[in-house]
Structure 1
Amino acid sequence: MGIVLRQGIRNTLISYVGLAIGFANTIFVLPRLLTTSQLGLVGVLVFLATVGAQFGMFGFASAGLRYFPYFRNQGRNHAGFLPLLLGLPLLGYLLVAVLMAVGQPLVLHWYKSSDAALIAPHYGVAIGLAGVIMLGALQDAYLKSLFHTSFASFCQEILLRLLIVAAALAYGAHYLTFAGFVVAYAGAYAVVALLLAVYLAAIGELHLRPTRAALRIKPLGEMLAFGGFALLSNISGTVLLQVDNVMVSAKLSLAAGGIYLLATNVSTALTLPFRALNKTAFSLIAEYWKESDMAQMGLFYQRVTRINTLLGCYLALGIGLNLNFIFGLIHKPEYAAGAGAVLLLLAGRLFDGITGVNGTIVVTSPRYRYDLGFNVSLALLIVGLNWVLIPRYGLEGAALAYCAALVGINTLRTWFVWHNYRLQPFDSRFPRILLVAAVAGVAAWAPPELPNIWLTLLMRGGVLTLVYGLGILLTNAAPEAVALWASLRHRFFPAA
């Protein structure tokens, strides 16, 4: 747990710097420089590229995380693991690129003619973006397996966002056309993929010479089978996470998709601590399975859930209570139409974080095939719910479908892990954290808004932080928070 906790804290710090940059980009830069339709277009291109990257990888990012413990330290080059990890996906991407090019008319058919005319000139960028996203994901998986996660976090959370901000500012200053901005947006992902390769070379882990030993340690057929299941699982996961935005763009308009994308970006702030800790959790849980150490896995499961609950409740309340402030900074009233969607998205993301690492446990377990059933069933459900709810309820319908999908998949996974392995994520401190969060939320919400949005932010944020922090410490709801407070107090007030 030590290496996970240290890198988790480091990744959390990196993630929050990235959050600040992403917040500035989301609130101050992109909405002011791009029209709602242009912002919706960016969301569609990223979705198409992400799906293309998933098919190209054929689940090998997940397969690499699962099987690398068997290759680790098998010679200086880990028995040629990296060429195996990259080789088949590169062949897969070539096929995907052809299919995406041939399928362009079918994709454009789903959009209104005016929106399709906006997408068409930039469709080729999505094909190239799929390739660099795939390379970045494969190298990131390799670095996770090596327990080198901080540099990848820096590139993905900070550098990528800075490059996108720079591209947007260049467009706003008329140094780039909108077409140039789209290319620069994709180029930011390419820079990250290149830097990850440079970093691997710098730490002596860029082993590109293939070896026959790689095929002897674990049968290729077994890895392909796992990769196939992981592909379907990842694709359904992508549907769960992004299809709502694409369906809003298709069934309403690209402009509505742009508003919904902003709502999604605002709610994404909640997921950063979860993602930071889970970066190293995957590899450690794979090690627990290899050693059959169920006791340590159970303790880890509960601790991650407790930390995620502690951070998640605070962030969800902080965002939800200050939506007027957030939308007020944009100075474009049309974006405020996404406020209701933000609240529903926050509820779904909070439940996803609170249930801990159930999905990681399932997908790395001997019964990983069951996770595919969960994901595919719920992917179909989310598409069906969006199909029904978006025309009826608009943006809130898409957010409600997303929330229902996350609650559903995590409820099923949590039950599955308990039923099969008698592991569950909740300890006796969990209800205390929820109670403290409820009291703090009511205390921060009760005072009326002040005439100035900045003063309202300071008042609500201050009350929330004070009540929540004191409540957690006084109830000992999270030993990690108590230990952190004691450490800070000893450092700054050693004589106290």
Structure 2
Amino acid sequence: MGIVIKQSFKNTLSTYIGFGIGAINALFLYTNFLTDDYYGLVAFVLSAANIMLPFMAFGVQNALIKFYSTFKTKNSLNSFLTLMLFLPFVFIIPVGLIGIFGYDFIASLLSEKNPMVYEYVWHIYITAIAMAYFEIFYAWSKVHLKTVFGNIMREIFHRFCIMILLGCVYMKWIDVETFIDGVVAVYALRMIIMKIYAYALRFPVIKFSEIEDVSSILKYSFLIIIAGSIAMVILDLDKFMIGQYLEIENVAYYSVSVFIATVISVPQRSMHQIMMPLTAKFLNENNKTELESLYQKSSLSLLLISGLIFLLIVVNINMLYEILPEKFTGGLFVVVIIGLAKLYDNVMGNNNAIIFNSDYYRVVLFFGVLLATLAVVFNMILIPIYGIEGSAFATFLAIVIYNTLKLIFVKMKLKMQPFSFTTIKVLILLTVLSFGFYYVEFSFHPMVNIILKSILLSLLYLFLVYKFKFSKDINDQLKKYLPFL
């Protein structure tokens, strides 16, 4: 776990900086510099692009990681990398042609509830391509166990650029339409920078030689599209469907609440970058001992880290809503229920990486179809009845069912599971501290309350985690960065 913890710490730091910038954007700049409908439009465009991303990438970002270490000669590796670069065009070109000849039909369908969407369908397509190739070039660097720069680009770069664009809107240097064009340009620029970095690690040599067992690679890429779609469906289908059932400003209100809850997923996102290639390596070497150790340690470490974030959000949410504009403060249930779903995601450890890189990856076809169906059905039923709270609960149900199925599957096939008695002890600690600090309030300004309560809770939590020795890896990091413990 040494390299995992080391790079995960750096990735977590950069991810939190990115989320800090994103928080300023989502909670303050968007809400004050754009009208609700345009904020909702931006959220809708990015969510739709995220849903398209797995198809545009054609599963290449995962195939790169799974198969890279299996090629032992330069010729075979160059041929493999050439295939990875060109394979996404199998989907990108036909979709582009459909867009050219069927734009009116597609745009009319997407803008039926909100007509302002009609002019921005191409923005979705271009952004999806930029996102897809960014992930491919990021995977290119991951196989060299270089994840920190890519994580900075993934978490900080585009948010910082969008902050600048929002400032330009406020100063009236650009209008809102130009701002939306600028957002698309930022994602394209991010992809180009990531490409340059990836090529600096290993410059591609275009070679179209025959690849051994190419059918397995293509089959894996095709099936992994579904697996990648699952994550995007869970993250963005709710926003997309809210835009189809409710006024588009509701997407903005929902996005604020989801953004707050999504902070819980930061440790998983950070650790996942280095766990994917390591998991693939252990599976390719049939090193079950190291794999099981990584599974259990990653689960416990993520629970301990994300548990603290969950605590800080839950105990401070009321004070945070006092700072936000009143129309954005109706999502308390959304924050809590999405937060619980994200916490469950973290407890899964590197479960996703195990399934994606094992010989059982085909099971994602079944899980993917089931989850997508459930997510759509739950949203269709609950959004018209309960609005954005119904969408949050639909997402929660879909995540719980999906993760539980994956947990059971890995246990049945690989005879390993991530939990231990320590997991139960950590959950008890989180429950006690949640109820213990939720009702603690100080008679200061809300921001002062948030800072003061967060410091007290964090110190107590870290002390208890260290004292009870829940995790050796976490304790080692606490000793290193908090020498007073």
TM-score range, shorter chain: over 0.9
Picking from 203, 206, 209, the partner of 1:209 is: 206
- Pairing of 1:156-167 with structure 2 (within 5 A): 156-167=154-165
CA distance in 1, matches of 2:278, 2:187: 27
1:325 lines up with 2:287 in the alignment = no
Q: 1:294-346 CA distances to partner (integer Å, 9 max, x unpaired)?
A: 1110010000001110011110111122123333333x211112222111110
Q: 1:344-387 CA distances to partner (integer Å, 9 max, x unpaired)?
A: 11011111111222122112111111122112101100110110
Contact 1:65 1:141 in 2 (8 A): yes
The one-letter amino acid of 2:189's match is V
Picking from 371, 387, 392, the partner of 1:378 is: 371
1:458 lines up with 2:477 in the alignment = no
Picking from 422, 427, 445, the partner of 1:434 is: 427
Q: 1:421-450 CA distances to partner (integer Å, 9 max, x unpaired)?
A: 111001232122112222222221232453
- Pairing of 1:247-258 with structure 2 (within 5 A): 247-258=241-252
CA distance in 2, matches of 1:374, 1:113: 31
Structure 2 counterpart of 1:198: 196
1:27 lines up with 2:27 in the alignment = yes
Picking from 145, 148, 151, the partner of 1:147 is: 145
CA distance in 2, matches of 1:272, 1:227: 26
**TM-score normalised by L of structure 1:** 0.93
CA distance in 2, matches of 1:19, 1:144: 22
CA distance in 1, matches of 2:76, 2:149: 21
Higher mean alpha-carbon deviation, 258-267 vs 54-63, is at 54-63
The one-letter amino acid of 1:444's match is F
Contact 2:316 2:438 in 1 (8 A): no
Q: 1:165-217 CA distances to partner (integer Å, 9 max, x unpaired)?
A: 111111221111211111110111111111112213333x12142241xx33x
Picking from 165, 168, 172, the partner of 2:166 is: 168
Contact 2:50 2:236 in 1 (8 A): no
CA distance in 2, matches of 1:13, 1:258: 27
CA distance in 2, matches of 1:223, 1:486: 44
CA distance in 1, matches of 2:246, 2:100: 25
The one-letter amino acid of 2:228's match is N
Cα distance, 1:454 vs structure 2? 2.2
SS of the residue corresponding to residue 337 of structure 1 reads coil
Q: 1:462-486 CA distances to partner (integer Å, 9 max, x unpaired)?
A: 3321321222122112222322233
CA distance in 2, matches of 1:6, 1:481: 11
Cα distance, 1:15 vs structure 2? 1.0
Contact 1:125 1:183 in 2 (8 A): yes
1:120 lines up with 2:118 in the alignment = yes
Structure 1 counterpart of 2:381: 388
Contact 2:320 2:447 in 1 (8 A): no
1:356 lines up with 2:349 in the alignment = yes
The one-letter amino acid of 1:232's match is I
Q: 1:26–1:77: structure 2 CA closer, same or farther, 3 Å change rule?
A: farther
Contact 2:320 2:450 in 1 (8 A): no
Structure 2 counterpart of 1:137: 135
CA distance in 1, matches of 2:329, 2:428: 30
- Pairing of 1:221-236 with structure 2 (within 5 A): 221-236=215-230
CA distance in 1, matches of 2:351, 2:290: 15
The one-letter amino acid of 2:383's match is I
1:70 lines up with 2:70 in the alignment = yes
Structure 1 counterpart of 2:235: 241
Structure 2 counterpart of 1:17: 17
Structure 2 counterpart of 1:347: 340
CA distance in 2, matches of 1:489, 1:349: 27
The one-letter amino acid of 2:59's match is G
Contact 1:305 1:425 in 2 (8 A): yes
CA distance in 2, matches of 1:153, 1:76: 30
Contact 1:245 1:260 in 2 (8 A): yes
Cα distance, 1:451 vs structure 2? 4.7
CA distance in 2, matches of 1:119, 1:361: 39
CA distance in 2, matches of 1:441, 1:78: 51
Cα distance, 1:239 vs structure 2? 1.6
Contact 2:66 2:357 in 1 (8 A): yes
CA distance in 2, matches of 1:104, 1:52: 16
1:98 lines up with 2:91 in the alignment = no
Runs of 4+ that moved beyond 3 A: 100-114
CA distance in 1, matches of 2:186, 2:226: 27
SS of the residue corresponding to residue 421 of structure 2 reads coil
Contact 2:60 2:88 in 1 (8 A): yes
Contact 2:294 2:350 in 1 (8 A): no
**TM-score normalised by L of structure 2:** 0.95
Cα distance, 1:111 vs structure 2? 5.6
Structure 2 counterpart of 1:424: 417
Structure 1 counterpart of 2:307: 313
SS of the residue corresponding to residue 173 of structure 2 reads coil
Contact 1:27 1:329 in 2 (8 A): no
SS of the residue corresponding to residue 322 of structure 1 reads helix
CA distance in 1, matches of 2:382, 2:149: 41
Contact 1:359 1:371 in 2 (8 A): no
Cα distance, 1:114 vs structure 2? 6.6
User: Identical aligned pairs, as a percentage?
Assistant: 23
Cα distance, 1:236 vs structure 2? 3.1
Structure 2 counterpart of 1:280: 274
Picking from 182, 185, 193, the partner of 1:184 is: 182
CA distance in 1, matches of 2:421, 2:393: 30
Aligned length: 485
Structure 1 counterpart of 2:477: 484
SS of the residue corresponding to residue 252 of structure 2 reads helix
1:367 lines up with 2:360 in the alignment = yes
CA distance in 2, matches of 1:446, 1:114: 41
CA distance in 1, matches of 2:166, 2:343: 30
The one-letter amino acid of 2:430's match is A
Q: 1:384–1:53: structure 2 CA closer, same or farther, 3 Å change rule?
A: same
Picking from 445, 467, 489, the partner of 2:460 is: 467
Aligned residues: CA RMSD:
2.0
The one-letter amino acid of 1:160's match is H
Q: 1:139-184 CA distances to partner (integer Å, 9 max, x unpaired)?
A: 1111111211111111111111111111111122111121111111
